Amino acid sequence: MDYQVLTAQQAEQFVERGYVAIRGCFTREAAQEYTAAIWTRLGYAPDDPGTWTQPSVHMPGHRDIDIRKFAPKAWGAVCDLVGGAQRIQPYRWNDGFIVNLSEGADRPWQPASPAAPGWHKDGDFFRHFLDSPEQGLLTLVLWSEVRHQGGATFVAADSVGPVARFLAEHPEGVYPPSIAWTGAEPQPATFAWGDLVGQCGDFVEATGEVGDVYLLHPYILHAKAQNVLRVPRYITNPPVHLVEPMRFDRADPADLSLVERAVLRGLGVDHYPFTARGPREELVPERVAMHRSMKQAEQQRLSAAGMA
């Protein structure tokens, strides 16, 4: 199979371990255009940790970024993983940074393990099925250097199998635990992150340089790591939306994307017809309202600093 960006070895790693790191997708200078306003937006002083009232902040987005122009190598790799640009809905990055300043800095460093807090699969905005198109890939875009023990993201590289089996057992769909169930029908299953990550043993700390992009299987369990170094870390995690649900029973196996192949590997089969037995449902997490008010506060700080 020929890929635009991925080597055969990277493609194989993605199928077997659910992630690939694409290094050097944009320069430090290019990053600065977007990261320069972070501290004004936060209202914190970069050189005074006493002003860092929150250990980490999920910031709202202000500006869209065209990945095709900004990080063409990352775009090519995204296409390689999902089976071509025609399978992707318009995909843009933005400056909604996830800043880790001092998460868990008051505790001794603990390496990645099921006991670490915060394991989850992304997608708090839809009911999950085995074939869900809403989150076609998980991406971690590194906008700052991300060092060992410096607030990286922990990745459970063998989590695709447990999550695939759980989703296959629940064709009625699965709710993210952060969403309260309000429907009339029996409550669908919710992800039990602890049970799922408890089946994993291959853990990676997603460290790297400005401009590195980790592309991960959408099922991959991950968690914010401690930042005992207290070196500010900035990432974004823009999801890829697919045009159509995934297919695990394509007539020509050569049409299976690497993401689909990883699911089949996780299920231990080479073919899996799947039919959703519940509604494809958009969910609205509290994050949306919170980001609206955070964005207003950030805009006021930018105006006050003459940066708006």
In the complex, the residues that contact ligand AKG under the rule CB under 6 A are 58, 98, 100, 122, 153, 222, 224, 237
Residues 6+ apart with CB under 8 A from 153: 140, 205, 206, 214, 222, 223, 224, 225, 235
In whole angstroms, how close is the CB of 4 to ligand AKG at the nearest point? 27
153 vs 207 by CB, closer to ligand AKG:
153
Sign of CA dihedral 171, 177, 183, 185: positive
Report the Cα 218 to chain-centroid distance in Å: 7
Separation of alpha carbons 132 and 138, rounded Å = 13
Contacts of 126 (CB under 8 A, 6+ apart): 132, 134, 135, 280, 281, 282, 283
Q: Which does 100 bind (CB under 5 to 8 A by kind): ligand AKG, Fe ion, none?
A: ligand AKG
Q: Which partner in ligand AKG, Fe ion, none is near 224 (CB below 5 to 8 A by kind)? A: ligand AKG
CA distance 21 to 134: 22
x/- mask, Fe ion, residues 72-111, rule CB under 5 A, reads: ----------------------------------------
Distance CA 263, CA 166 (A): 12
Smallest gap, in angstroms, from Cβ of residue 87 to Fe ion? 22
> Closest separation between CB of residue 2 and ligand AKG, Å?
32
Instruction: Kindly tell me which residue out of 122, 131, 158, 212 binds Fe ion, with binding defined by CB under 5 A.
Output: 122
Which of these segments, 121-129, 164-172, 204-212, 285-293, binds Fe ion (CB under 5 A)?
121-129
Q: Which chain residues interact with Fe ion by CB under 5 A? A: 122
